[in-house]
Amino acid sequence: MAADATDAVLSPVHAPTTFEETVERLGSAIRLGVLGPGRQLPPERELAEQLRISRSTLRQALTALVQSGHLVAHRGRGGGTFVAERPPLAAHQEPGPLPADWRDQVAARRAFEVGAVCLAAERAAAEPDAVIAGIAEMRRQIELMDAAEAFPEYRRADVALHIVLAELTGVQRLVLQATEIQSGATELIAHIAHPQAVLGHSNAEHLRLVAAIERGDVAAAIRTMRRHLAGTEHVLAGLAPA
């Protein structure tokens, strides 16, 4: 994944909910793989300056993330704060009833993703050289999904693909929004089973999506994304426990 996603995650946090937003932003970035397993976070002073929060607030947030299993703190020489090797994929880990507003969450994601894919395809048509690296990265994530032996591996590659899509727009603000959207999507998807047939069909659509973006076909890219997300909504409705 490009550095844009990490830069967005570590951009300044806004008051008045600095503690809560810091926990949410870092926790989401870890679950989604933007901050990968084993990665060392910047030193406390540097990270606090990047996020523009006090060191005491940062310490509280990091403590909460250590307690939740997202981070591991090592003391002594060579110590520091590291992303856990196996962080939780979602706050909700077991199948259960979907939240009452799940359709609203799906609709919000649809609005965002369709807009992002439109911008990405338009940019590919106008500046094909600007999207070459991103297209290659999306194809790499598709290969990782094909090879994934467990759903967490598949989902992290899926998330990476959608975040790279946001990066292809060239709008950094959309990259941060993409991490938030994907975090919510991961929480929803954790409520259902993950049949291999469904995952395979979804990844085939990823291939069609990338092809449409690469050739700058805005209409096809939008059509494919809408179909892809509609499929997710149908699966949620059909497989979620009552």
Distance CA 192, CA 95 (A): 5
CATH number among 3.30.1360.10, 1.10.3720.10, 3.40.50.920, 1.10.10.10, domain 3-83: 1.10.10.10
Among 31, 33, 36, 61, which residue's Cα sits nearest to residue 47?
61
- pTM for this prediction: 0.71
- Asked if pLDDT for residue 77 goes beyond 80, the answer is no
Band of residue 224 on the pLDDT scale cut at 50, 70, 90: very high
Cβ count near 131 (within 10 Å): 24
**pLDDT digit string (tens) for 18-74?**
877 888 788 878 877 888 889 999 999 999 999 988 998 899 889 888 887 889 998
Name the band, by pLDDT with cuts 50, 70 and 90, for residue 15.
low
E strand or H helix that includes residue 223: helix 218-239
Give the whole-angstrom CA distance, residue 158 versus residue 146.
10
Residue 91: predicted pLDDT: 59
| Alpha carbon distances (Å) from 103 to 16, 99, 187 | 29, 9, 13
CATH 1.10.10.10 in the chain, residue ranges: 3-83
Residue 16: pLDDT band (50, 70, 90) is low
Question: 154-188 pLDDT, tens per residue?
Answer: 999 999 999 999 999 999 899 989 999 998 898 88
31, 183 Cβ separation under 8 angstroms? yes
Under 8 Å between Cβ of 46 and 58? no
Give span(s): CATH 1.20.120.530, the chain.
102-239
Give the CA distances from residue 43 to residues 3, 59, 167, 190, in Å, rounded to whole numbers and listed in that order: 18, 11, 27, 33
Class (C level, CATH) for 102-239? mainly alpha
